[in-house]
Each structure stands twice: as C-alpha cells, then as structure tokens.
Structure 1
C-alpha cells in the first residue's frame, strides 16, 4: 500500500474514533437503552453494542475499569466470539479483532499469532488467571469462553511468577502483554442450549451448553459445555476432530467466592501443513499458490489429549481485607507426523532436497499454585489498593523427534507435492524422553495508589527460577526482580492519560532438533531480558471507547546460523535484540443506534540492534509489517437481524535472505474480507439463532509473515460456516 493509502486509512480510523468525542448525550442514552437487547447473556460491564467490556483484570488486584489500567487493554465478550468465531479455525481468527494482534497461521495445526510484532501462541494464554496450561497446538476452545482480557502493554510483573517455557519464542516470557481467558459460569437464568455448526467441506460440530444455579439465593452454579467436531475443512484432504467436555462449578457466598473449572480434551488435525521457508534468491516471494493446494503426505497428523483444571477462591476477612488462592494444572500427551515444520522451496516454487518427514512424540505437565492477600486502606488523602501473593509453578516436558531421509519430497508449490517411494517407511515414532524440568517460586507485591485525579500503580515480582536440562544435566538458577509501574491521570471521568513500564527476565530456550538440525542440540541458551514502555490516552464517550498509544519493546533476537549447507546443519543462537516501536489506535463501541464497530490501526517500526559486531544493526525484524489494521462492523436493522463484516490488512514485510539483493526477501501485503448474517426467531416456542459466515470472501491467496521468524504461512481458501443455536 502506498503512502497516500496509508494516510487515508489512518484518517478514516481517526474520523471513526472522533465520533466518540462528538456524539450528543441523547445518542448515548439511546444506546444505553438498547444495550440489553443486543448483548449475548446481557454483560452489564459491556460497552454499547456488546463487543467489548469496560472492565478487565489487573493481575493480582482483580478487575478494574479499563480507564484505570495504565496500558492498552481490550476485553472481548462472548458476543464477539459468537459473531466472528469459526470453531474449526484457530482462535487467533478472533483475537485479531485487536489491532495489536495479527494471525501467523490459518491452519488449525498451530495457534501462532503475533502481538505488536512478537510471536506468541497458546503457551502465552492464561486460563482464569492460571498460566501455562496450553501450548503451541492448543488454545482454550471457544465454546467455553465467557470473555478474553487482552493486555497489549507492560504488565509482566502483575500476574505473579510463571513459566519461561513459552513455546517457540526463545523460551522467554514475552513483554508485549498477556491474554487471560475467563470461562463461562452459570447465570441466574437457566440455560439449556444446543448448537450445531457446519463449515468447510464436511466439518460438523455439535455443542451442548447447560447452566443452572441452585441453593439458597442461587449461591451455587454449574455450567457444563461439551463439543464433538468431525469432518473436512475448506482445504481438501484436511480434517479436524475435537472432543471435549468441561464443567464450571462456582459458589457465591456472603464472604467468599469459589470457582472450579475442569475438563478433558482430545484434539486431532489430519493434514493442514501451511508453513514454508524460502531457499531462493529473489527479492520477493514467488506468488502465493492456490490455497486449496494440499502439501501433506496421507499420514500427516497432529494429535493431543489430556485434562486441565483451575481453582480460584477468595475469602473476605472484613470489609477491607481478603485472602485468595489460585491453583491449576494440566497434563497432555500426543504425537505428530509431518514434513518438517516448514517446507522449503526455491525461486520457481520447487521443493528442495532438504525437506523430509518428521515423527515427534511429546508430553507435558504443568502445576501452578498462588496464595495471596489483598485489601485497601488510606494514608492521609491517598487511597491504597494493595495485594501480596506467593507463587509456585512447576513444569516437566518429555519429547523425542525422529527425522526421515532427504530427497524424498519433491514437486512444486503450484502443481503439488510429490512423495518419492523412499519416503516410506516413515520415521519410527519413539517414546518421549524427559527433556527439561523447571520450578519457579516467587513473591509479588502490587499497590494502586489513588490521589485526586491520579493513580500510581506499582508492582514487582521477585522470581527464583530453577531449571534442569534433562538431556545434558545442565542446571540454571535465576534470581531476578520484575518491576512494573504505571501512572494514570484522569482530567475527567471520561478521559485518561497514562504511562507504564515493565521488565521480564527468564532463562533461554533449550535447543531441540525438529524443523532443523542444530550442532548445539540440547544446549540451553543464556537467560534473556526484555523491557517495554508505553504512553497513551483513553477516551470513553457516547458509546465509543478509543485508545491511542505509543509503545517501545525490546526482546532477544534468536537466529539460526548455517554451518554446513550440504548437510543442512545450523547453530541456534541469540544475536542482540529486536526493538519494536509503534503507534496503536483502538476503537470499540456504537457508532450509531444500529452500528457497532471494533478494530483499529497499528504502525510498527521493528529493527535489530546490538547484534554481533553491529553486522545486523538497523535491519528489519523478520516477518513484521510496518502497517496493519482491522475493522469489524455489525449492522442491526432491528432486534432480530444482524449483518457482520470485517476487513484485515497487513502491509508488506521482509525476511533475511543473504542470496537476495539487499539481503532480504519481501512478503507481499494482503487484505482479506469476512462477511456474515445472523437472525433470531422461534420454532414453536423455542428461541433459535441462525447464523451464516464467509471467511476470506474473495478467496485471496497470500503469504503470512511470522514475527521474528524467516518462516511464513500460506492462507486457507474461502470458508463458509452456518450454525443454528437452540435455547431449549
């Protein structure tokens, strides 16, 4: 997109945002009256239009107003999921309604996305405030979610200590922010809901949602959610099978609240590999092939099963003080067969001889416990909201990856893959072996000080980390302090000006053969440190919440250094830092009585610095676009009908390529469109909601960059989804 178009896009978004500043009070009153008619399950904390909330979780201090949180915050409601989610697609498809988040994959084989340019996945999500219960292949299934609190800002020291085994992103706890999933609870109104979906080529999903409250004053609540999904996706030859059942039991007493969530899951995806690596010398990637092209051998699969649970309790001691306890654990195991994690091709799109089959068996266990105290008091005219928490987290990981031979995967990205007879037999699926073990203990203290129109937020975590590399016996002990602080000033109740800072510090990742062979396989890299600063302004008026922020993040730059081209051997290493500086505009709420908007725009200047001998200083960060935006709209002509549209745009990005002119290869920009409609009616006396959605309406074929990586994804073809929801 040229400069004029970028300026035009920014001008349109700013004009939309300004509506919140100029709509008259009468419009605001009208929107408030319509609130209960349009919001799924009537979220009282939601903005008019019902897509986002006005409150979110501030770590161990609990829920606070969005305007009082000193960083960018967006809390998506259940209605956002009902409008934009296709359960057969990655959850990132909905998360990207937040302008700081861009999806890094269209395949359900992965959960990757980027936040402010930094790669993330299911490892980085919290469930009811509990960290590290998911990983790269799994995220919370959408049918259990009540809301999603997305923090795109400096809050690393707010939630207590957590694990540093966060997936593919160098082992570090990322500074960009956190994503906290809150599960559904039973409402005062009984729910007996059956939903059926059809998407792709033959994918059928069935969902049961039952909720009841009982006991004196409805103090007990039970919500049960179950899913059965099976069938082909829009990509020919690809299937998704998912079976799970979860329950949420909660108790609301006069002096205590308790919530227990638990369940079992079983997820399998057959086919759907969509990650690639470029081995040519062109300054731009070859044109994206037809998205319907399948590159899997028939046995390609990815499977995981296990269980997880969370327990949250808070007990009042008096009107000002209470203690709380949080606990969670997960256990998973599974395996996969695929052609590496990313297939490599040349300038003509031909697959090169370094591709091969891979078999991996893995398992993981995570346990987390937190005990804390929080309360409020005053010192003179200053009001304090304080919290003190003690944490312990434990994780153990088992893994074994086995590769087949080279030269048996040929063909072309345009004409299809050719699997030579030598591909079989596939590499043996071996038993997973202990890989690493980690125990973290820590203490976190936080204080939100209110004085006049200002609030000062101070928090810090003291983290003691013990890590054991079970492959080579290497041990790492880290003792570090993670500070977080922020200042919010509210000239009026509708306007907030804020600034925030945080730091995170954790051990480096364990180098493991998989996509590539590393000469330092089994090594644990040095600990890494990351910082983030943010300043911004928030304004809420006439049904619109607008946030405009500037942020500055640094993070370790992880690279693969090729040491033997003939044998495709690499050395994994850290090389300086990636620096992410940008501007972000977020707009949510009601534009007018029948129009609701969500989305925004992000400008991101990402460069490398402090690299070895300054060789790469000033260069771009792999896979990160300078400009990106998303706009979602809902038009409700009356209380029964709704029309939904969404546009997602990513500007061009670049990846390292020493063989290309200028040492880089371009990933072209792309724009995608989604559109749908929903209708509420009755069949006899049964309320029914019928929905239809089309993703990638124009059937656009495009490449997708990954933040900080030279690998990239291929889009999925146009996908249709229809659903019927029955409230029995």
Structure 2
C-alpha cells in the first residue's frame, strides 16, 4: 500500500471516530436509544445499528457494561454474523471486524488468527465461559452463536484457570485476550427457521433453527440448531463437508437460572492447503517474498484431507441465596478424534517458486478436555464503598493422543512450482501406521478471587488466580508442577456516565510446550519450560449519539518460541527470549446516521524481540506482525427491507526471517473488499430474507502473515455466497 492509501485509510477511520466525539448527546441518551425493529428482535442490549452490544462478560463477575470494564471489549451480535459470515470460511473472517484481530488463513483447514500480533486459534475460545473445548482445526460453528465477547486486553485473572493450548501439538502461548462464544437460547417469540446457503463452486448448506419456551411463564426454553453442508469451495478441488446437531435447554426460575448446551459435530475439509515457508538459496539477494501466485492454484494431492468428529457440552447454573448473594457452577467437556493427510504443515519454496525439501505428513489424533468450576458472588458495603465480590474454585483437565509420521511419499520427492502447481510421485500410497498414542496429560487446579470496588465515579478491579499445574509428557518421560499466581487489576474513572478512562494489568503463564512427536524434529517430544507473560493497557471509552469509541495503548510480552533449521533437513524447536508488542488501537461501532451503521477501527503495532540469546536478535522485528492494520464495515439501509453491506480489510507490510540465513523478507501489504446486499420480503405469508455477498471482490492474490511465525498463508480466490432464510 502506498503512502497516500495509508493516509486515506487513517482519515476515513478517524473521521468516523470524530463523529462520536462531536455530535451532542446526553449520557442518558447514549446507551438507551430506541432501537429499530430488527435490533429489538435480535438483541435489546445492542448499540443502535445492532452490530455490537453495550454489555459483555467480566469473567466470574458476570455481565457488565462495556464502559465499566477496564480493558478493550467488543461483543458482536447475531446480526454481525448474519451480515459478514460465510459458513464455508473460517470464523476469523467475522472476528476480523475487530481491529485487534487479523485472519492468518483463508482456508477452513485451519482456524488461525492473530490478536494484537500474537497467533491464536480455536484453542483460545471459550464456550459459555468454558475454556479449551476447541482446538486448531475447530471453532464453534456460526449458526449456534448468539454473541461473541471479544476481550483484547488484560483479563487473565478473572476467568479462572484454563489451558493455554495452541496448535495440534498444544504448544503453549498465553493469549493476549479471550473470545467467549455464547450459544443461542429460546426467545419469548417462537422460532422456526430454515436456511439454505450456496457458496464457492458448489458448496451447499442447510440449516434448521427451532426455538420454543414452555412451562409456567415460559420458564423452560429449548433451542435446536442443525447443519448439513457439502460441496466445493471457491478453490478448485477443495471442499468442506460438515454435519452437526446441537441443542440448548435453559430454565429461568425465580431464584435460579440453568443452561445446558450439548451436541455432536462431524467436520471434514478435503484440500485447501494454504501454508507456505520461504527457503531461498544462498544466491538470493532479494528482500521480499516472490509474488503471490494465482489464488485459484491448488497445491493438494488427491488424498489431502483433515477430519474430526466428536461431541461437546456445557452446563451453567446460578442460584440466588438472597438479594445480594448467589452461588454458581460451570461444567464443560469435549471429546474429539480425527486424522490428517497432507504435504506437511507448510510447503517450502525457493526464490524461483520451486518446491524444495517437502515431505508428506500423516496424523491420527484424539483429545479430551474436562472443566469444572464452583463459586459464590455477592455485594457488600464498607462505608461508602460498594464491593462486587466473587470467589471460585475450578479444575481443568486435558489429555492428548497423537501418532504422526513425515516421509517422502513412496520414496519419491514432492516437486513442482509455486506458479505451475505441485507434483507428487507416481503411485504414492498412504501408510497405515496405527492409531493415536498418548502424548501428554495436564491438570490445572486453582482458586480465583475478584472484587470490583465502586466509590463515587471510580471503580477498582482487583483479581487473582492461584494456579497449580501438573503436566506430564507421556512420550518424553518428563513431568513438572508449576505453581503461580495470576494477578489482574484495573481502574475505571467516569467523570460523566458516557465517558470512561481506564487502565489494566495482568500476568499469565504458558505451560511447558511439547515439541511435536515427529522425526523431522531433532528434539521431538521435548518439554519446554513455562514462561511468564505480562500485559498492560490504558485507554478511554466514549459513548455518544449511538456510537461507542475506544482508544487504547497496550504493552504485551510473550515467549519467543520457534523452529530453526538443523542438519539433515530437520528442525529444532527453541526458546529465545521474548516478543514485545506495543501498540495503539482505535475501535468505532454504532450508527453514523439514520441509515448508516459502522463497525471497525485501526491498530498500530510495534512488535520487537528482546532478551534473545547473547542479545543477537534484540530489537529485531517479530515475524508476521504488520505495523498497521485496519477494518471498516458499513451497512446502508435505504428502507426497512433493503440493506447494502460493504467491508474493507487492510494489512500493512510485515516481515519474516529466514532462520537459516537470517535474511529479512517483506510480506507485501494488501487491501481486500467485500460487498453484499440483503432483502426481506414474504412468499405468501412466509417471511423470507435473501442475502448475497462477494468476498475478496477484486479477486486479489496476496500472502497473509502469521504472528510470531516464519510461515504464511495464501489467500483464497473471490467467493460468492447466497442464502435464503425462511421464518416458518
């Protein structure tokens, strides 16, 4: 992107932000606008325009106003999903409406994205407040989601203990925030909805959504959601097949609320390999990656697949003991099994685009996660200070099985070229190398205490989790215990009701990472030590005239853990100091005018390494992390039946390091555009909503950086999506 385009993007976003600061409105008007018909039906807590909520979850302290939470918080609604989601694409496609998040992949074979420059995936998502029910290949399917609470800030000490898994081998990375998915519940109005979707080159989906309340005063509610999807993606030769069935049963009594969510899932993605790694020859003197190839190019052999099936459930209960005190309990469990057959995690190519040193990879894997929490919460007064207290004890347990093998298929070599396509040896055969074997087991037990002290116009959040971790590497024969305290504290000052100044800090520990059980690693099955991570944020939040604006400064560090080249075309996983992420973030959401709604923002990120071995890489860039990025989504509704939707996503240039030659190579900047339309009508007496969306409107080919990694993704081609929703 040239300088003029940068200034244009910044000017547009800053102009939007200024609207929220200039237009007059009283504090009373700010958060209580009369909402139009669509918003009322979707979410009464939503800002005007209906894309973002005014409340979100503050860990064990429950739902709070976004203005009272001392870190960046954005709660996306069902409407945001309805406007921007394509179920055949990763959920990160919607998450990147938050400026702190950038998708690291366009393929549904992965779920990776970055938050404030740090790589994350499905492992970092919570479901109804329960952690670690998903992993790198899976995220919650969008059709079960009621809202998404995105915390890009210091909140580790208010959520209880959890795993910090990252990747199929569950290497540990403390997350820069959390993403909590809240599932759909039955509403007062009966729901019977049938939706059909069509996208890509033949991917068709069918969705059933049924909700009813029953019993005295509708105290019981049942919501059932089901999906069947099958067919080709916009990438020729790739396809996604997904089947699932979920139900949500809830009860609302005079003194208690209970919610049970459970279901079965079956997901397969055939093809869609999109990870690459640049391995130039010693003669290469360039400073940039070779140009991105045609994104319609397929790099899969005929048997490339990734498959997982299993079940999951969550149970949440809250019981009032009196007007001020209640106790709560949360439980969750997931079990999954699957396999993967592909040409390694990332295809390596040289400066001419020739593939080099690539091997075939097969994995059988399985995982089980169980979580339980019980606690109390209440309010007390000490003089003029009001305390909002919570105390919880929880236990998180996980076990992982894997059997992995990398090899040259049929004794041959994977050849071909980035621009011409991949060539596999003739008559290659998949090996039957056995079922998954136990790899590691981890148990975390902890106690969390939190207090929000309110006095006048100020509130102080004090929280801490005492965590006892027991980790056992079942293949390397090494185990360890790790006892630590994770503090979180923050302060919010509101001179008026619609303006908040805040600051927050937290600390967290990664658990010891396990190097992959793979012969290509010289230290396979090794266990790396836990590393402490710190995070600080200060900012301002302003709600005015239907617009909520947040501006923040953040400072995060994390372990610098990566693979280096070793003799014999092998790899070694190493720890080398820390990555430090400092930045500024602007988020804007709400209604600009009677017919215009906006969501988006801008982020500046200065990510560098420190405390590296002998200081050799201190001050160097963090691989894959762009300095500037932004997003702007707009909806224009000329009348109550029509809507036009547009979105621009911008990533500035980033850099990667060739760990073999220490070269610095640029990942060029890119801008993508999405454009769509939706229309509500009736067929006879049946309300119908038709939607059409085009993703990557200009069919741009581009590389996608991955925070903290020397690997990078390739874009998917232009994708059309059509849907029809029938409310029966």
Verify same fold: TM over 0.5: yes
Secondary structure at the residue paired with 1:508?
coil
Q: CA deviation at 1:173?
A: 4.8
Q: C-alpha distance in 1, partners of 2:629/2:169?
A: 22
Residue 651 of structure 1 is matched in structure 2 by 652
Residue 165 of structure 1 is matched in structure 2 by 165
CA contact (8 A) 2:169 2:515 kept: no
CA contact (8 A) 2:30 2:543 kept: no
Q: CA deviation at 1:42?
A: 3.1
Change (3 A) 1:175 1:402: closer
In the TM superposition, what whole-angstrom CA distance separates every residue of 1:37-63 from its partner, at most 9, and x where no partner exists? 232733110000000000000000000
Within the candidate set 431, 434, 447, 2:435 is matched to 431
Within the candidate set 396, 404, 408, 2:407 is matched to 404
Q: CA deviation at 1:322?
A: 0.1
Secondary structure at the residue paired with 1:38?
helix
Deviates more, 1:601-610 or 1:25-34: 25-34
Residue 604 of structure 2 is matched in structure 1 by 603
Q: CA deviation at 1:171?
A: 3.1
Say whether residues 1:141 and 2:145 are aligned partners.
no
Secondary structure at the residue paired with 2:171?
coil
Residue 74 of structure 1 is matched in structure 2 by 74
Q: C-alpha distance in 2, partners of 1:547/1:553?
A: 18
1:172-251 superposed matches below 5 A:
172-251=172-251
Q: CA deviation at 1:164?
A: 2.9
Change (3 A) 1:658 1:457: closer
Deviates more, 1:492-501 or 1:33-42: 33-42
Q: CA deviation at 1:473?
A: 1.9
1:649-728 superposed matches below 5 A:
649-657=650-658, 663-728=663-728
Secondary structure at the residue paired with 2:99?
coil
Residue 390 of structure 1 is matched in structure 2 by 393
Q: CA deviation at 1:10?
A: 2.4
Secondary structure at the residue paired with 1:629?
strand
Q: CA deviation at 1:510?
A: 0.3
Residue 468 of structure 2 is matched in structure 1 by 464
Within the candidate set 454, 458, 463, 2:458 is matched to 454
1:259-408 superposed matches below 5 A:
259-280=259-280, 281=284, 282-352=286-356, 354-405=357-408, 407-408=412-413
Q: C-alpha distance in 1, partners of 2:260/2:105?
A: 32
Residue 526 of structure 2 is matched in structure 1 by 523
Change (3 A) 1:348 1:440: same
Q: CA deviation at 1:97?
A: 0.2
Q: C-alpha distance in 1, partners of 2:277/2:219?
A: 55
Secondary structure at the residue paired with 2:41?
coil
Q: C-alpha distance in 2, partners of 1:24/1:494?
A: 12
Within the candidate set 392, 413, 424, 2:418 is matched to 413
In the TM superposition, what whole-angstrom CA distance separates every residue of 1:561-596 from its partner, at most 9, and x where no partner exists? 2220xx211211100000000000000000000000
Q: C-alpha distance in 1, partners of 2:397/2:295?
A: 41
Say whether residues 1:558 and 2:533 are aligned partners.
no
Q: C-alpha distance in 2, partners of 1:646/1:32?
A: 27
Change (3 A) 1:384 1:26: closer
Secondary structure at the residue paired with 1:443?
strand
Residue 581 of structure 1 is matched in structure 2 by 582
Q: C-alpha distance in 1, partners of 2:654/2:456?
A: 46
Q: C-alpha distance in 2, partners of 1:51/1:658?
A: 43
Q: C-alpha distance in 2, partners of 1:492/1:48?
A: 20
CA contact (8 A) 2:30 2:545 kept: no
Q: C-alpha distance in 2, partners of 1:170/1:336?
A: 16
Q: How many residues align?
A: 722
Say whether residues 1:512 and 2:516 are aligned partners.
yes
Change (3 A) 1:170 1:248: closer
TM-score of the two chains, using structure 2 as the length reference: 0.97
Secondary structure at the residue paired with 1:717?
coil
Q: C-alpha distance in 2, partners of 1:305/1:679?
A: 36
Q: C-alpha distance in 2, partners of 1:27/1:13?
A: 24
1:42-53 superposed matches below 5 A:
42-53=42-53
In the TM superposition, what whole-angstrom CA distance separates every residue of 1:694-723 from its partner, at most 9, and x where no partner exists? 000000000000000000000000000000
Deviates more, 1:402-411 or 1:384-393: 402-411
CA contact (8 A) 2:186 2:213 kept: yes
CA contact (8 A) 1:69 1:488 kept: yes
Change (3 A) 1:307 1:275: same
CA contact (8 A) 1:170 1:508 kept: no
Q: Structure 1, unaligned stretches of length 5 or more?
A: none
Change (3 A) 1:188 1:637: same
TM-score of the two chains, using structure 1 as the length reference: 0.97
Q: C-alpha distance in 2, partners of 1:506/1:351?
A: 35
Q: C-alpha distance in 1, partners of 2:48/2:134?
A: 32
CA contact (8 A) 1:486 1:498 kept: yes
1:99-118 superposed matches below 5 A:
99-118=99-118
CA contact (8 A) 1:358 1:427 kept: no
Secondary structure at the residue paired with 1:687?
strand
Q: CA deviation at 1:8?
A: 3.8
Say whether residues 1:482 and 2:483 are aligned partners.
no
Q: C-alpha distance in 2, partners of 1:71/1:322?
A: 26
In the TM superposition, what whole-angstrom CA distance separates every residue of 1:274-300 from its partner, at most 9, and x where no partner exists? 000001133111110001000000000
Q: CA deviation at 1:4?
A: 4.8
Within the candidate set 484, 494, 497, 2:498 is matched to 494
Q: C-alpha distance in 1, partners of 2:541/2:25?
A: 19
Q: CA deviation at 1:555?
A: 0.2
In the TM superposition, what whole-angstrom CA distance separates every residue of 1:647-682 from its partner, at most 9, and x where no partner exists? 00000000112677x721111110000000000000
Residue 623 of structure 2 is matched in structure 1 by 622
Q: CA deviation at 1:475?
A: 0.8
Q: C-alpha distance in 1, partners of 2:202/2:10?
A: 40
Q: CA deviation at 1:518?
A: 1.2
Deviates more, 1:171-180 or 1:484-493: 171-180
Q: C-alpha distance in 2, partners of 1:428/1:287?
A: 38
Deviates more, 1:621-630 or 1:649-658: 649-658
Q: CA deviation at 1:3?
A: 4.3
Q: C-alpha distance in 2, partners of 1:151/1:219?
A: 31
Q: CA deviation at 1:404?
A: 2.1
CA contact (8 A) 1:576 1:612 kept: yes
Secondary structure at the residue paired with 2:43?
coil
Q: C-alpha distance in 2, partners of 1:274/1:34?
A: 46
Deviates more, 1:307-316 or 1:278-287: 278-287
In the TM superposition, what whole-angstrom CA distance separates every residue of 1:203-236 from its partner, at most 9, and x where no partner exists? 0000000000000010000000000000000000
Q: CA deviation at 1:393?
A: 0.6
Within the candidate set 406, 423, 447, 1:443 is matched to 447
In the TM superposition, what whole-angstrom CA distance separates every residue of 1:99-157 from its partner, at most 9, and x where no partner exists? 00000000000000000000000000000000000000000000000000000000011
In the TM superposition, what whole-angstrom CA distance separates every residue of 1:325-364 from its partner, at most 9, and x where no partner exists? 0000000000010000110000010111x11111100000
Secondary structure at the residue paired with 1:217?
helix
Deviates more, 1:412-421 or 1:611-620: 412-421
Residue 257 of structure 1 is matched in structure 2 by 257
Q: Structure 2, unaligned stretches of length 5 or more?
A: none
